[in-house]
Structure 1
Amino acid sequence: MWVRSWISRRLDSGFFAQLVKELHSEDMNSYANFLRMSNKDYEYLLQKVEPLITKQDTHLRLAISPSERLMLTLRFLATGDIYHSLQYLFRIPVTTISRIIPEVCEAIFTLLKTDYLQVSNFRKTA
């Protein structure tokens, strides 16, 4: 078996499958607190990065959704939590998390840098 059994239950019992959906439908304030942004902002960001972070399903397994990839990354950025802790929360192996977070960060940076990042025009003179 190439996946631990508790990880294989991510789609049914994982944090994203359970608590996040409950927060979204029952307590938008807690949902926004968890994400550190409004649902509107989250949906905007997801819509922007989704084409760059979407993966194909295979005959061996279903791909981790763009929404779950983004939420994992935002949780990491908001909390600074370690990958091992996020593994238990999201039921995603550390090796997969270590690929997802840099990829999603790169997508966010690539798509939003021109709108939200100012580069100084300061030049160092010799």
Structure 2
Amino acid sequence: MDQDDRDTLALILVLRRRRQQQQRQRIHWVHPIHRLRRTHGEFHRLVQELRLDNYQFQRYFRLSVEQFDDLLSRLLLNYIFCFFVFYRYLATGDSFRTISFSYRVGHCTVARIVGEVCKVIWDCLVDEFMPVPKKDDWRAIADRFLQEWNFPNCVGSIDGKHVVVQAPSNSGSLYYNYKHTFSIRLLAVVDANLVFRMVDVGGYGRNSDGGTLSNSPFGQALRDGTLDLPEDRVIPGAEDRGPMPYVFVADEAFPLRCNLMRPFPGTNLATGRRAFNYRLSRARLVVECAFGG
């Protein structure tokens, strides 16, 4: 190895060592706009003033001060700032970038806050506001369906909705649906009073209603018989047919199962089947009304 080769090798080693040192010495850089968060950000200025005016506070967050504080007291949040950012996002539907300018944080920080607070709210409140029904609850729901919609042994109406999203990176056609948009699937079970009893969010947009049901925890519990449904019961006026199972009702996009009823297919149906489809359609309508359809 001649002198030139030695010099070249020494230079490479010096540059490599310098690069390693630079990687160890990470530079923390904060945008000048974000540095003024405590003096000019909405949380430290506008929000504190809004708390003195309940009407304006409610217009800003879609919650009263009392409701806001009550909900905050239930959650295990160490940083109140995150809760205000999250609810401003829910109240407006603005982009993460718009919220980030208002509260003077990075838009990636807003995205992380929204995801984390959503999880905290679900974990803390789901057992109180959306517990999985027990046998007595299912019976009460069925009694209400019979009273309101004239459909016996019905414990819920099922439907799925598309929630439009931006296509995640490298997701291909997983989220691309028949409406030619990208979405995730929301599956819901609604009772006779239009109350959501169970929900599942996160199925791929390209999945059908039946596929979404099969892949959801609710669908698996329905298939495995672990929903704690009551024992079969005789339908009023049809005592000769013996006890019948409790069922959920859905449209023709869902599969027919022992505990899942769908309409008879076709148009030229016998009178009895047309009457059944009419009754089922009325009972199933509650989930569409709950969705606002």
TM-score by length of 1: 0.79
After TM superposition, list the pairs within 5 Å mapping 1:79-118 onto structure 2: 79-117=92-130, 118=197
Q: Are 1:125 and 2:257 counterparts?
A: yes
Question: Aligned runs of 1:67-82 on 2, under 5 Å?
Answer: 67-82=80-95
Per-residue CA deviation, residues 91-120 of structure 1 (Å, 9 max, x unaligned), is 111121111110000101111112222228
- The superposition leaves residues 41-76 of structure 1 with CA deviations (integer Å, 9 ceiling, x where unpaired) of 111111122x2x32xxxxxxxxxxx22211111111
Pairwise CA distance, 1:9:
1.1
CA distance in 2, matches of 1:12, 1:112: 34
Distance 1:78 1:32 in 2: 10
Segments of 5+ residues of structure 1 without an aligned counterpart are 55-65
Q: Residue 38 of structure 1 aligns with which residue?
A: 64
Residue identity in the other structure for 1:119:
M
Distance 1:39 1:116 in 2: 21
The aligned residue for residue 50 of structure 2 is 23
Query: Residues of 1 paired with 2:54 and 2:92: CA distance?
Result: 19
Deviations 1:8-59 (A, max 9, x none): 111121101011111112x22001111111111111111122x2x32xxxxx
Equivalents in 2 of 1:95, 1:2: separation in Å? 15
Q: Which has the higher helix share?
A: 1
- Measure how far apart 1:82 and its partner are: 0.3
Structure possessing the higher radius of gyration over alpha carbons: 2
d(CA) in 1 for partners of 2:58, 2:80 = 15
Q: Among 48, 66, 70, which residue is 2:74 paired with?
A: 48
In structure 2, runs of 5+ residues without a counterpart are: 1-27, 131-196, 200-226, 228-247, 250-255, 259-293
3-state secondary structure, aligned to 1:119: strand
Using CA pairs below 8 Å that are at least 6 residues apart, which structure has the higher relative contact order?
1
RMSD after superposition? 2.0
More strand by share: 2
2:40 paired residue among 9, 13, 17: 13
SS in 1 for 2:44: helix
Name the CA distance, whole Å, in 1 between partners of 2:69 and 2:122. Answer: 17
